[in-house]
Every structure is written in C-alpha cells, then in structure tokens.
Copies of this chain bind each other. A is one copy, B any other.
C-alpha cells in the first residue's frame, strides 16, 4: 500500500524519522507558526512573548535546532544591547504548509478519533 516506503534507503528513512521527531516535539511547530504569522523577522524577545509558555532556555535550544535543520535563519546585528532576528527559510515555510495540511485533516476528523466510535468486534466470531 505504501510502496514508496520500500523504495527508501535505510538512511533516508532514518533521517526522515529524526526530522519528524524533532519537528513534532513540544515547541518547534509553534515557533514556526509564530514566525509565519508575523510575516517578518522577529527578535528573540518577541518570540519569547508570542510563543506562550516557553522558557528562554528552551527557546534558544529549539531555535538552534531549527537553524541547523535549515528551517529558520538567525541574523545577528552586533549592537549593544545585542539584536538578533529570526525568520523562516523557504524550506521552513514549505514544511509548515505540509504539516498544516495534516493538521487541518486531523481537525476535520477530530470527532472520529475516539475509540467509542470504532466498531467493536470483540470475540463475536470466537
């Protein structure tokens, strides 16, 4: 049914899996979403305000990971006090769009995600 899965090398599968796991962590998608909504580069402290509930430490961590993955760009302006701006890369924007389409599908089918709606066949045939 998913022939393409078998046409992947193990390395491709591994890397894709890593990316999914990193992106599906607690904060990355929120951050990408905030950056996308802003439509313009955001400073560190703006992100800290808009990504509700995140701590400074985790925001820096997550941003570094997103940067390494090529999803955001970090621009440092050597001023005092320092100024750093973050913005989405085209890849980040594209990834977000892919995820959003999945998200939309889930929201549309939210009522189905419930075991009580699943037909139970418990042992009728046994």
Contacts and interface: CB of A to CB of B under 8 A. Distances in A.
Within the oligomer, what is the number of copies of this chain? 2
A102 interface: yes
Contacts of A98: 102, 105-106
A27 to B, nearest CB: 11
Contacts of A75: 121-123
B107 A8 contact: yes
Given A1-B36, A78-B126, 16 more contacts: A13-B107, A15-B113, A19-B113, A20-B106, A69-B113, A70-B116, A73-B119, A74-B122, A75-B122, A77-B123, A79-B126, A89-B118, A91-B113, A91-B118, A94-B109, A98-B102
23 contacts: A2-B33, A4-B104, A4-B107, A12-B107, A12-B110, A19-B106, A20-B106, A21-B24, A21-B26, A70-B113, A70-B114, A70-B115, A70-B118, A75-B122, A75-B123, A76-B123, A78-B126, A79-B126, A91-B113, A95-B106, A98-B102, A98-B105, A102-B102
